[in-house]
Amino acid sequence: MDRIRITGGRELNGTIPISGAKNAALPLMIASLLTEDELTLTNVPRLSDVSNLARILGNHGVDVTIAGKRSGDDVLMGQTVRLAARSIVDTTAPYELVSTMRASFWVIAPLVARMGRAKVSLPGGCAIGTRPVDLLLMALERLGAKIEIDAGYAVCEAPNGLKGAEIDFGKVTVGGTHVALMAATLADGTTVIRNAAREPEVTDLAECLIKMGARIKGLGTDTLEVTGVTRLKGTHHAVVADRIEAGTYAMCVAMTGGDVLLEGARPELMQAALDVLTQAGAEISATNAGIRIKRNGAGISPVTVTTAPFPGFPTDLQAQLMGLMTRAQGTSRITETIFENRFMHVQELARLGAHIHLDGQTATIEGVDVLKGAPVMATDLRASVSLVIAALAAQGETLVNRVYHLDRGFENLEAKLAACGAQIERISG
């Protein structure tokens, strides 16, 4: 099993190209099920989640061609993925495939919209409740689908097609909004989605669907109006830049000091995170090429942050911010409001010398002058990269184990950091 070895204490200087967003690429790939034509996506990141989803879509009959793997290609740039669902050969998504990644459950929407039926394993075999799919299923029921839960599967049927309806989400749900959007594009009539997620990745999906012929109003707002069409066509679409990756590398620079251009990053998609980094003492400026972040020898200032749906501070940057605040000059507080059990990185940060106290969904971080390298273990995608951030400033050597979590969401992380001066390497086996 691969590990990453980091020797801390080096500033970061240079340029880091920002990849396409994983959280946009996955629903965009799933949207290929809505049309017989070919959907071509560019700027798709090289991630294990992308590869896994390609296999899942292949199970349904999608022909997936991934270009950009020829000798001499720049591995720091995105790849092109062509998807053609000319005929759906199977409307069942089995447990052994869906269990590898939660987002694959979203195939239920295009399958029932196009084929009138879908049988999809509940993700990870979970009961409806924790990170629930109940809101996703509610959206499909509003559109006229009949749903039964049978032996760990959601069986969704709409033999006469889906019908436009009003969908009111009781809480903001990115997955629910993705599902409602995709299903409504082929529904008969008009669908109004209220309390819709406003995340840039949702808007990116909507923009691609519009290119495919969908009729959607209200992009970027919490109310989306979708007028169904009888069929969608193929198109070309570039995946939006990954605001979470950009925010992660910005925190790496804020931790180590230095001067880095985050090439291709879009400040308007991550303003809440940039505001927090400015409070912490980083200098941030937008350029035509992306976002430039600097921190000189001054210390890191503590912050108080509560995660919130977009445009608030993203839950997917909470662990990274905690890693940064371990070295702040004072006391920081981070409250997590989106997901429970998202503080699993706390015990591993403590192995590096961090002082963190948990009280429910709030973490209080007492900044320390020195972190010291140690063996640590990644527990999930975002938690794993918080350990990298802390290790970049720790004295001595840190070994990050179980880095397959990192490979799910960060494209060539060690190569990008090493190119800016970090002493970091992957150890295979």
Residues marked as catalytic? 126
* Residue 416 assigned as binding residue: no
Separation between Cα atoms, residue 110 and residue 107, nearest integer Å:
6
* Residue 338 assigned as binding residue: yes
Separation between Cα atoms, residue 402 and residue 189, nearest integer Å:
48
DSSP type of residue 134: H
Q: Is the peptide bond before 311 cis (omega within 30 degrees of 0)?
A: yes
* Residue 26 assigned as binding residue: no
Residue 261: CB atoms within 10 A of its CB come to 21
* Residue 233 assigned as binding residue: no
Tokens of 120: 């999809």
Tell me if 152 sits within 8 A of 179, measured CB to CB. Answer: no
Tell me if 237 sits within 8 A of 203, measured CB to CB. Answer: no
* Residue 134 assigned as binding residue: yes
Tell the residue number behind the tokens 């495919």, with chain if given: 212
- Partners of residue 237 on adjacent β-strands: 41
Tokens of 187: 């529904």
* Residue 22 assigned as binding residue: yes
Tokens of 299: 């210390």
* Residue 135 assigned as binding residue: yes
The closest alpha carbon to 417, from 297, 255, 253, 295, belongs to 253
Q: What is the side-by-side strand order in the sheet with 283-287?
A: 12-17, 258-263, 290-295, 283-287
Distance of CA 220 to the CA centre of its chain: 18
* Residue 160 assigned as binding residue: no
For the annotated binding site, the residues are: 22-23, 102, 131-135, 316, 338
For the annotated binding site for phosphoenolpyruvate, the residues are: 22-23
For the annotated binding site for UDP-N-acetyl-alpha-D-glucosamine, the residues are: 102, 131-135, 316, 338
